[in-house]
Amino acid sequence: MRIASYNIQNLFFRDEALFGTGHSKNFMDWLDEFEAILRKGLRLNEDYRRLRELSFLMGLSKEHPQKYLVLRNHGGVLHGKIVASPRTLEKDFKAGHSWIKMTSQMIPRESVIHKARVISEINPDVLLLQEVEDRASLISFRDKYLADFNYRDCYYFEGNSNQGLGFGIFLRKGYSLSVCRSYCNKEDSEGKPLFDTGLQILWLRDPKNQLFRILQTNLSGLGKGEKVDQKRRDQLGFISKVWEEQLDMFHDLLIFCGSLGRPSYCESLSKLMSKKEIRNILKSGCFKADRDYGKAASYFSLGAYQKGINLRETQYLLYNNTPSAELLSCGLNRRGIWSGRTHNWYCYPGINSEVSQAGMHPLLWADFLLTPGNK
């Protein structure tokens, strides 16, 4: 049985805020003022003059336009067109047309193809995906790019994010999901959601009806700072509690996977990583991964996955030490990530920049042999 976890960073569309604007505070203030004027019900000539000034200050051009969807009513039917030119926007506003700011960007087709190739090369029986925009995209991705891999069941969990950062699961024929519990409603000490995306516990069965369980989460978007680290401690404290509760129920295979946003040595992860029964696939003797063939081949940077795999460790696949299951093989696939100019590992043909790469994260996988009679 092969299980894989992959932070796929969306399938077809991604919220533009997740790309990072790279703009200064002044630019963002000008943009807020620009949109505040657009929201006015009645705009005067001085408003249009200010719009032109702000357009000049922000340097809006064909290379970096701020896109809007302008809606027009023709015979009772709404028609839309994407507009990026400030002058075109001004004409549409004077004509009384409505507008909507475009908040997501389309992922390039070559990047989508490389995402599918990362998955198809590993060919897991159970695939867990983080940062999926919606169920429709998940099904479309399966039917168009993974049609030959016999993923019969498809599940999607929304979570708490409004930026399309849900969770997806693909199960090959013979595997089934029997129980699912979501902790997206768990609150912190301030009464706010503890998890920005979510946490699920999944009870699954293999073709021989043997039980195994998976905890899945995504803590990758929290940022930095003491307040953020404290929130991550609280999250890991709750995850540790759920882990212990699940261990007390049964002694079957229990897996934790997803994004924790920090290397394993960080103090904020200690409540989970310090548990005696937890095993990390990175530390197993059967771990496989493409090494760096450049100058960093013999280097082990702080916070990396392993020596010669100098990507920042943020993705995890952990499992419990149990006689009910044996780890046969495991590894990491980073062939969908552009190696850049300072590193040199194998990546798929056609990946020559961050735009065309599958994403920033590797796929983690593990092969387990479940002991018969584990019901």
Tens-digit pLDDT profile for residues 71-107? 555 555 555 555 555 555 555 555 555 545 556 778 8
Q: In what order do the strands lie in the sheet with 278-280?
A: 176-182, 199-205, 211-218, 253-259, 315-320, 278-280
- The predicted model scores a pTM of 0.79
- In the block, tokens 């940022």 appear at 223
Question: Span 298-317, mean pLDDT?
Answer: 83
User: pLDDT over 70 for what percent of the chain?
Assistant: 82
Alpha-carbon dihedral sign for residues 301, 305, 310, 311: negative
pLDDT band at 149 (very low <50, low <70, confident <90, very high): very high
State the average pLDDT for the chain.
83
pLDDT for res 318: 95
pLDDT for res 63: 42
61, pLDDT greater than 50? no
**Best-predicted range by mean pLDDT (115-124, 194-203, 353-362):** 115-124
pLDDT band at 207 (very low <50, low <70, confident <90, very high): very high
pLDDT for res 305: 86
User: Is 374 in contact with 211 (CB distance < 8 Å)?
Assistant: yes
* Two tokens, residue 10: 């969306």
For residue 207, the tally of other CB atoms under 10 A from its CB is: 12
Question: Span 56-75, mean pLDDT?
Answer: 57
Query: Which residues is 367 bridged to in the sheet?
Result: 2, 329
200, pLDDT greater than 50? yes
Query: Which residues is 177 bridged to in the sheet?
Result: 204
Question: Span 173-197, mean pLDDT?
Answer: 91
pLDDT for res 64: 46
- In the block, tokens 């505070």 appear at 25
User: Is 175 in contact with 207 (CB distance < 8 Å)?
Assistant: yes
The contacts of residue 46 (CB under 8 Å, 6+ apart) are none
Q: Select from 238, 235, 242 the least CA-distant residue to 221.
A: 235
The contacts of residue 296 (CB under 8 Å, 6+ apart) are 308, 310, 342, 343
254, pLDDT greater than 80? yes
Question: Span 353-359, mean pLDDT?
Answer: 90
* Cα–chain center distance at 83: 29
pLDDT for res 49: 81
pLDDT band at 50 (very low <50, low <70, confident <90, very high): confident
Q: Is 234 exposed, middle or buried (0-12, 13-18, 19+ CB in 10 A)?
A: middle
For residue 223, the tally of other CB atoms under 10 A from its CB is: 9
pLDDT band at 320 (very low <50, low <70, confident <90, very high): very high
Phi, psi (rounded to 5 degrees) for 143: -70, -30
Class of domain 2-13+107-370 as given by CATH: alpha beta
- Enumerate the domain spans of the chain: 2-13+107-370, 18-105
Q: Give the SS3 label for residue 50.
A: helix
Euclidean distance between CA atoms 327 and 316, whole angstroms: 16
User: Is 219 in contact with 232 (CB distance < 8 Å)?
Assistant: yes
223, pLDDT greater than 70? no
Alpha-carbon dihedral sign for residues 99, 105, 108, 114: negative
pLDDT for res 73: 56
- In the block, tokens 């056609």 appear at 350
187, pLDDT greater than 80? yes
